[in-house]
Amino acid sequence: MNTQASMHTQQAAHRVLVIALVATGFACAAPLTRTAAAQDADISEETVEYFRLNCTSCHTIGGGRLTGPDLKDVAERQSIEWLTTFIVDPKRVIDSGDADAQALFKEANGLYMPTLPGMTRQRAAALLELIAYESTKEESRFKGLQISDRPLTQHDIDRGQRLFEGTEAIASGAPSCLGCHTIDGTGGFGGGRLGPDLTDAFSRLEGRKALASWLAAPPGLTMQPVFKDRPIEGEEVLALVAYLKSRAEAGPPATKQGPLEFLIAGIAGVMGALVLFDLIWRRRFRAVRRPLVKGTTR
Ligand code: HEC
Ligand code: HEC
């Protein structure tokens, strides 16, 4: 009994530390007030941490739409049963033809919410309790990131490119993006294929605010474990957003290169096929990885 209690305290202390680390680098509310608030509503610190790591990249509570809808009062729009089933396997509910899910999917420009690592019905229910509790507050701690909305400059674009390519290190020690991503033109064929091509990530993820939130707490099985303890800090996020925005606006180089167009289209076809194989492969890989990831995110 006694040892259990002290283990519990240790775990709790560890969680507070992790949250503090994650919060470093982007100006957020103080972690201590978060702990107190979570205890008020009898919501476990683990649920709060899980939401922060897995959901805030795409959702706010009361801060407006990011890649996904604002979750404030979501339980007034849908039943808990529907929401639980949706969170556990969004793609399945959307593909089943469910009218409400189809409407959400359309509003999100056809982007599927992913199934998050270690998701169970029990966890989904706990998250919905947290969302309901946060919705009663005038200002939820998940209202959104306080990343500056100052204008983006050429300086940001250049720095973003250096951070992307790894010629300037990310301060937290996180690996550069090019190891796993390509972008039209830069890195050419040298970029990694583990992650998707990011040329149109800016528009796909619905612009500056959504992309910045995404980068401040990347979700997903591959990026989350890498960036969880090595977050990208606010100014770096802005630089990367500026760079990805400029790449999205420049459009694919194929349209400017006339005779090369065919060659590039051909290569793009091959790359597309590779990405497809990659996806298939990743899905199989995921089945093996999931239990491992689950172990570490608990
Ligand atoms: C990569 C972005 C992304 C992440 C991460 C994400 N979501 Fe979503 N979420 C979406 C999108 C997009 C939709 C709209 C439906 C669709 O297109 O899949 C959505 C829809 C929802 C809905 C239904 C909203 C409504 O208005 O009915 C709920 C609830 C939800 N998400 C909860 C969560 C929770 C909880 C997490 C964390 C465990 C999470 N989401 C993580 C993108 C995301
Ligand atoms: C360890 C490999 C890895 C590194 C390093 C990495 N990513 Fe990713 N990234 C991925 C993978 C894989 C995905 C697909 C989602 C998933 O499974 O996590 C992804 C998805 C993304 C997405 C979402 C794209 C979309 O359209 O859905 C963005 C944006 C992104 N990464 C940006 C970056 C940036 C910027 C960096 C550098 C700071 C970076 N990534 C570093 C592997 C990586």
Please list, in sequence order, all residues whose beta carbon lies within 8 angstroms of the beta carbon of residue 146, skipping any fewer than 6 positions away: 26, 27, 28
Domains of the chain, first to last: 34-135 (1.10.760.10), 154-253 (1.10.760.10)
Containing H/E element for 152?
A: none
For 254-270, the pLDDT digits (tens) are: 444 444 554 555 455 55
Query: Are 176 and 223 within 8 A, CB to CB?
Result: no
- pTM, entire model: 0.64
- Cα 235 to Cα 232: distance, rounded to the nearest angstrom: 8
What is the SS3 assignment for 120? Answer: coil
Q: Ligand 1: which residue has its CA nearest to atom 37?
A: 55
Give distance in angstroms: CA of 224 to centre of ligand 1: 16
- For the chain, report the end-to-end CA distance as a whole number of angstroms: 22
For 33-62, the pLDDT digits (tens) are: 444 444 455 789 999 999 998 999 899 999
- Is the CB–ligand 2 distance for residue 215 below 6 Å? yes
Query: Are 164 and 177 within 8 A, CB to CB?
Result: yes
- Is the CB–ligand 1 distance for residue 113 below 6 Å? yes
- Is the CB–ligand 1 distance for residue 205 below 6 Å? no
Whose CA is closest to 66, among 224, 204, 248, 227?
204
Q: Give the pLDDT score at 145.
A: 73
Query: Are 226 and 293 within 8 A, CB to CB?
Result: no
Give distance in angstroms: CA of 169 to centre of ligand 2: 17
Q: Ligand 1: which residue has its CA nearest to atom 23?
A: 83
Find the ligand nearest to 120 CA. Answer: 1
Q: Give the pLDDT score at 269.
A: 53
Give distance in angstroms: CA of 57 to centre of ligand 2: 12
Q: Give the pLDDT score at 38.
A: 45
Longest dimension (CA), the chain: 75
Q: How many residues does the chain have?
A: 298
- Cα 123 to Cα 115: distance, rounded to the nearest angstrom: 12
Which residues of the chain, if any, have pLDDT below 50? 1-7, 13-14, 16-39, 187-188, 254-259, 262, 266, 285, 287-298
Closest ligand 2 atom to the C-alpha of 214?
A: 29
For 57-88, the pLDDT digits (tens) are: 899 999 888 889 999 999 999 999 999 999 99
Q: Ligand 2: which residue has its CA nearest to atom 29?
A: 201
Q: Give the pLDDT score at 176.
A: 93
Give distance in angstroms: CA of 163 to centre of ligand 2: 14
- Is the CB–ligand 2 distance for residue 18 below 6 Å? no
DSSP H helices, 64-185, are 74-77, 80-88, 90-95, 99-107, 121-135, 154-165
Q: Ligand 1: which residue has its CA nearest to atom 5?
A: 55
